[in-house]
Amino acid sequence: MKHVFRKKIILSIVLTTVITILSMIGTGNLLFDSKNTLVYRVFPSFDRNRDTASKSEYAFTNLYHVINFNYRFIDDYDTFYKNTTPFFDKYVKRLQVVNNSDIIIFDSKDRNASLQKKSLNTSTIQEGEDYFMGITRDKYTFSAPIQVNAEDVATAIITTTGSVKTSFEKFRTVIVGLFVFGLTIFILLMMFFSWWVSRDMLEPLKRLNVSAANIAQGNLDFEVSYKKDNELGHFCKIFDTMRIELKSLLERQATYERSRKELIASMSHDLRTPLTSIKGYVEGLEDGKGKNEERFKRYLNVIRNNVDRLDTLIEDLFQFSQLELGDLPMDFKAQDSSMMLDSIFRNFEAEFKDTDITFTVHQILPSAIINADEKRITQVLENIISNAKRYVTSSGHITVGAIQEDQFIKIYVEDDGIGISPDVLPYIFDLCYREEKSRSMDYGGIGLGLTICKKIIEMHDGEIYAESTHNVGTTFYLTIPLSTL
């Protein structure tokens, strides 16, 4: 069985995760790519402020070198202003230069303060290793020392144009937007893959639901037609096999119940026939019809034969009931097949000596150890041979023998009687089955003989079957496995 649904679920999870991550990465690259004009339209100012910390560093470094180079003109405000302001980048808003005494000696935004040498409040400035950066409430302020002959002579203070609060909020907006975008993609993909997986699940489940409803209503004449090679397809196949087995079981049960009813009807008829005969002859004896000794003996012989038939019918019913309940006593013993069969066949030879039917035992009988109940095997052979005796002509032939095949002893009983028609042959071991329902007791009782034979052989773990050609003859075969002990 292929785990198709498991593979689909795993594939769905992997694809959903990968596509979502790739979508977020691709969108993030799109948003943070300064060369993309779409970002300019969506975030017209963010793209110019988002990299202030990195891009301004280059601009400030370049400006710092310009300041150091032109520091010799610091006392000439106009010359210093002219040489440095052209290098103001879009990130630079203001340049101030203070000496070591915190006196402003240059201010690009306040010429008078520069000329008047005013003091600068440096409480918001924090030093760094190469340069130091102080962050005011709404702007960036960078400062770096100016050196002459490796000595710090002044400090350059550069004020940027960016707003810390505005850049952070825009950055946060983009991050949240990316998260919402990724979540949306994830949900849409999960919905799609859920439909993709459930599509192959809902159809067979719907068919199984309809099938279960049919079974509940007693309708078994349908087929679960879902044939795909996946878990549910395999389950549907098993479900349909179960339906077929259930249908077969119910049919066998119906046949069995019908056979039981036929059994009761046949039993009533077949028991009534000898009882009626016995009653008639007993009444004849009571009326004095048996005063003649020959007639008296004939009456008694008829009564005895009918009593024997009744005894046979009752014994068959009793044994059948025991077999049905599993209470038929069996005495299994390990014994030599040749000796057992020779003993059984010898008794039959004696029985056929005074008849016109030829009874032949094929020699040599195979010798092997089998685990069998000799009494029950004799009963089976007696039933089969008695049936053969009924259906052969007065000059007929019955042949018995046995051979060894693989791990079995196969016993056969062959006759040249009227045979069994092909339409009837498959049913001869069924309960209460008789080829001729109207036949008298001369052709059998209530149809339990072969049914009992079959059950006895099955209790020996063997098999019984027949081959027949109508008006040619019949051969019964029964197998007994060799002992494994």
**For residue 218, is it within any domain?**
no
- Of residues 50 and 171, more confidently modeled: 171
Contact criterion met (CB below 8 Å) for 462 and 481: yes
Supply the CATH number for residue 361's domain. Answer: 3.30.565.10
272 and 200 share one domain: no
142 and 173 share one domain: no
Contact criterion met (CB below 8 Å) for 178 and 209: no
**For residue 221, is it within any domain?**
no
pLDDT tens-digit readout, 92-119: 788 888 888 888 888 888 888 777 777 7
Instruction: Point out the least confidently predicted range of 6-15, 57-66, 85-94, 100-109.
Output: 6-15
**For residue 326, is it within any domain?**
no
Q: Check pLDDT > 70 for residue 128.
A: no
Q: Check pLDDT > 70 for residue 44.
A: no
What is the edge-to-edge ordering of all strands in the sheet holding 473-481?
Answer: 358-361, 397-405, 408-415, 473-481, 463-469
What is the count of structural domains for the chain? 4
Question: In the predicted model, what is the mean pLDDT of residues 225-248?
Answer: 75
**For residue 216, is it within any domain?**
no
Stated as kind and residue range, the H or E segment containing 484 is none
pLDDT tens-digit readout, 389-398: 888 988 899 9
335 and 467 share one domain: yes
416 and 361 share one domain: yes
Phi, psi of 58 (to 5 degrees): -65, -45
* Predicted pLDDT of residue 85: 84
User: What is the span of the domain harbouring residue 182?
Assistant: 4-42+167-207
* Predicted pLDDT of residue 423: 86
* Predicted pLDDT of residue 476: 96
Task: Among 299, 321, 343, identify where a domain stops.
Answer: 321
- Of residues 451 and 193, more confidently modeled: 451
**For residue 219, is it within any domain?**
no
418 and 289 share one domain: no
25 and 110 share one domain: no
* Predicted pLDDT of residue 39: 41
* Predicted pLDDT of residue 404: 94
- Of residues 412 and 279, more confidently modeled: 412
346 and 417 share one domain: yes
Q: Check pLDDT > 90 for residue 86.
A: no
Q: Check pLDDT > 90 for residue 479.
A: yes
Phi, psi of 395 (to 5 degrees): -110, 30
Question: In the predicted model, what is the mean pLDDT of residues 291-311?
Answer: 81
Highest mean pLDDT among 312-326, 343-357, 424-438: 343-357
**For residue 443, is it within any domain?**
yes
Supply the CATH number for residue 145's domain. Answer: 3.30.450.20
Share of the chain above pLDDT 90, in %: 16
| Ranges assigned E (strand) in 110-181 | 132-135, 140-148, 151-160
- Of residues 241 and 165, more confidently modeled: 241
* Predicted pLDDT of residue 261: 74
pLDDT band at 42 (very low <50, low <70, confident <90, very high): very low
**For residue 213, is it within any domain?**
no
468 and 339 share one domain: yes
Q: Check pLDDT > 90 for residue 59.
A: no
Instruction: Point out the least confidently predicted range of 129-133, 246-250, 401-405, 452-456.
Output: 129-133
What's the chain's average pLDDT? 77
* Predicted pLDDT of residue 366: 93
Contact criterion met (CB below 8 Å) for 224 and 234: no
- Of residues 12 and 277, more confidently modeled: 277
Supply the CATH number for residue 267's domain. Answer: 1.10.287.130
88 and 151 share one domain: yes
* Predicted pLDDT of residue 43: 42
Sign of the CA dihedral running 319, 324, 326, 331 = positive
Question: In the predicted model, what is the mean pLDDT of residues 369-391?
Answer: 91
178 and 127 share one domain: no
* Predicted pLDDT of residue 416: 92
Instruction: Point out the least confidently predicted range of 116-125, 172-181, 438-447, 461-470.
Output: 438-447
* Predicted pLDDT of residue 290: 63
Residues 198-207: contacts with CB under 8 Å, at least 24 apart = 200/4, 200/5, 200/8, 200/228, 200/230, 200/232, 201/5, 201/232, 204/228, 204/232, 204/233, 204/235, 204/236, 205/232, 207/236
- Of residues 334 and 227, more confidently modeled: 334
Distance CA 91, CA 241 (A): 80
Cβ burial, residue 160 (10 Å; 0-12/13-18/19+)? buried
* Predicted pLDDT of residue 393: 83
* Predicted pLDDT of residue 205: 73
Rounded-to-5 percentages of helix, strand, coil across the chain: 55, 15, 25
- Of residues 409 and 209, more confidently modeled: 409
156 and 171 share one domain: no
138 and 69 share one domain: yes
* Predicted pLDDT of residue 209: 78
**For residue 215, is it within any domain?**
no
Cα 111 to Cα 88, 121, 122, 392, distances in angstroms: 17, 18, 19, 145
